[in-house]
Amino acid sequence: MLKRILFLTLAMLSLGSVCALSEPLPLTDGAESADRFAANPRPIKDIGDPHVLSSGGEYFTFATGGPIGFNVWRSTDLTNFSKEKALKKVAWASGDYWAPEVYAANGRYYMFFTARRKEGATLRIGVAVSDAPQGPYEDAIGAPLFDFGYAVIDGTFFYGEDGTPYMIYSRDCSENIVEGRHESHLYGIQLAEDLLSVVGEPVLLTTPDTPWELTTGDYLWNEGPAVLRHEGKYYLFYSANGFATKEYALGVAVADEPLGPYTKQKNNPILNYIEEDGKVVVSGPGHNSFFTVGDELFTSYHTHTYTNAPSGNRQLNIDRAGFHADGTAYINGPTIAPQLRPLADLGLVNHMKRAKSDTPDAQLLTDGDTCQSVASEAYTFTGAEAAFAWDAPVTADMLLIYPAQGKALSGQVIVNDALTADFALDAGQKPGAFVSLTFAPTEISSLRVTFNGEAAVGEILLLGSAE
């Protein structure tokens, strides 16, 4: 009799669990959350080499565009922009104003840019200053920043860990011939504290020397540098191949010191063109720069406006970036499907950053890498589930699941061991597509995610209002 009572009790408990699990998560249609997202390309076209400065709650975008001077596009949401003139011209240059980058330093704003010098019709790097991020900017020294007797472009600025300022630039292929080939090489040099002159001699950092950089015959490039410091190392991002080819792409090299030596990352390029069914859908992503919003790292870069006719007409793109635990850099792009705007601007947090899990390798689902460009850091499910829990309940209203490189997936989420929702994402979606489940604000103490069959997943985000 005792065995029968125990059996019935266990059966009732099991039935109760099944009933609880059958209760649906209170999903909504997501319309109220549409403004959380923005899609590439952004509405700035016929430009190149974009650089975004975040300052005072606004975003200021500078770019190559037009024969004289530079415009600035101002925005509060990286979606809607207004345009005004930032730099009209400088007396020493005749045209070809390219690749402006603006930095706050020494209580002012410094614009480093490329222009064609009147004397000798050769390319040089200049510097202009302003008291406001939008300008107007004025030439700081009445001449190029330096002159080593050869054409230079694409100057980028950064501080070393000890506060020493540096510039990395590209020695342009127009005046650099190596073994019969025109080649652009990256050099670094120290700047003076006032950022208006150089100290010492330039140091060669990188040349186009790996297979993916050698697609354009007798003209080869390492150009468009950008530098980040991360955990004691220097990451030099650069672009290679012809700017008007689909193969224009982005790589990264790493060093222990600001002026190298730099070693190129093995999984380069980390941002590359996308081709689907023989059709190019994203062409020539490259020449990037970085900016942060809250604790999120973003990169701006350009792609060709006309994928079937690559040219100097390019457009602004913005995606997230970061670093894996082993120090390798990644970029969550190129994307076309709408992506989350900066969480700090939205007043949201990703609760997965505080989740705990006993699932092996679950950190791959919360490391920030959606595995859009490289799938090697994805989590592969083969019938198992990923389980997460929080020490104290968190309130959320949106769950995003990113498949690696846009692969199809389907499965089920189980919230608090009681609320369930099925999901599915078909193949053939726009690059950067993801599963999105929106629901009424819910206190969540546990989350389980199961998949139907094998699935490669880059990231899981659980979003709620910042506390």
Q: How far apart are CA 96 and CA 356, in angstroms?
A: 53
Instruction: Give the tokens for residue 205.
Output: 């950092």
pLDDT tens track for 3-37:
333 333 333 333 344 444 469 999 999 898 999 99
- Whether 261 shows a pLDDT value over 60: the answer reads yes
Of the candidates 37, 112, 110, the residue with the CA atom closest to the CA atom of residue 339 = 37
Exposed e or buried b per residue across 9-36, where buried means at least 16 C-beta atoms within 10 angstroms of its C-beta: eeeeeeeeeeeeeeeebeeeeeeebeeb
Q: What is the pLDDT of residues 324-333, one digit of tens each?
A: 999 999 999 9
For residue 132, being part of any structural domain is answered with yes
Do 206 and 63 belong together in one domain?
A: yes
| Residues 73 and 29 both lie in one domain | no
CATH value at residue 393? 2.60.120.260
Q: Are residues 387 and 279 in the same domain?
A: no
In a domain, 80, yes or no: yes
Distance CA 387, CA 382 (A): 15
pLDDT score recorded for residue 384: 76
Sheet strands side by side (includes 152-159): 152-159, 165-171, 185-191, 198-206
Interval 185-208: pLDDT, tens? 999 999 999 999 999 999 999 999
d(CA 252, CA 302): 17
Of 305, 334, 363, the residue at which a domain comes to its end is 334
Tens digit of each residue's pLDDT (9 = 90 or more) over 114-128: 999 999 999 999 999
Kindly report whether the global pTM for this prediction surpasses the value 0.85. Answer: yes
- Domain match, 290 and 359 both: no
User: Is residue 7 domain-resident?
Assistant: no
pLDDT digits (tens, 9 = 90+) for 167-183: 999 999 999 999 999 99
Interval 214-227 mean pLDDT: 97
| Domains in the chain, number | 2
CATH number, domain with residue 138 = 2.115.10.20
Kindly state whether residues 320 and 352 are assigned to the same domain: no
Mean pLDDT of all residues in 443-448: 98
Assigned domain for 339 exists? no
* Segment (H or E) for 345: helix 343-346
**DSSP codes joined into one string, 220-258:** E-EEEEEEEEETTEEEEEEEES-TTSTT-EEEEEEESST
Of 271, 302, 334, which residue constitutes the final position of a domain? Answer: 334
Asked if 48 and 189 sit in the same domain, the reply is yes
pLDDT for 383 equals 75
Does residue 290 lie within any of the structural domains? Answer: yes
**Residue 22 confidence (pLDDT):** 67
Compute the radius of gyration of the chain from its Cα atoms: 25
Q: What is the pLDDT of residue 7?
A: 31
pLDDT reported for residue 338: 97
d(CA 467, CA 460): 20
Residue 236 lies in a domain: yes
pLDDT per residue over 87-121, tens digit each?
999 999 999 999 999 999 999 999 999 999 999 99
Q: What is the pLDDT of residue 229?
A: 98
Kindly state whether residues 280 and 392 are assigned to the same domain. Answer: no
Least confident stretch, 141-155, 245-259, 364-378: 364-378
Please report the pLDDT score of residue 13 as a whole number.
32
Quick one: 53 and 158 in the same domain?
yes
Mean pLDDT calculated for residue range 346-356 = 97
- The structure tokens listed for 37 are 């997202």
CA nearest neighbour of 228 among 246, 204, 208, 253: 253
Q: In Å, how far from its chain's centre is CA 144? A: 31
- Tell me the average pLDDT of the chain: 93
Contact 394/440 with Cβ under 8 angstroms?
no
Q: Give the end of a domain, one of 299, 314, 334.
A: 334
With respect to residue 104, please indicate whether it lies within any of the assigned structural domains: yes
Same structural domain for residues 93 and 222? Answer: yes
> Domain check: are 269 and 355 in the same one?
no
**pLDDT (mean) for 71-76:** 98
Single out the residue of 298, 292, 344 nearest to residue 317, CA to CA.
Answer: 298
Residues 29 and 132 in one domain: no
Query: In terms of residue numbers, what domain contains 413?
Result: 25-35+346-465
* Average pLDDT of the segment spanning 441-445: 97
Percentage of the chain exceeding pLDDT 70: 95
20 located within any domain: no
Q: pLDDT (tens digit, 9 = 90+) per residue, 269-313?
A: 999 999 998 999 999 999 999 999 999 999 999 999 999 999 999
205 and 152, same structural domain?
Answer: yes
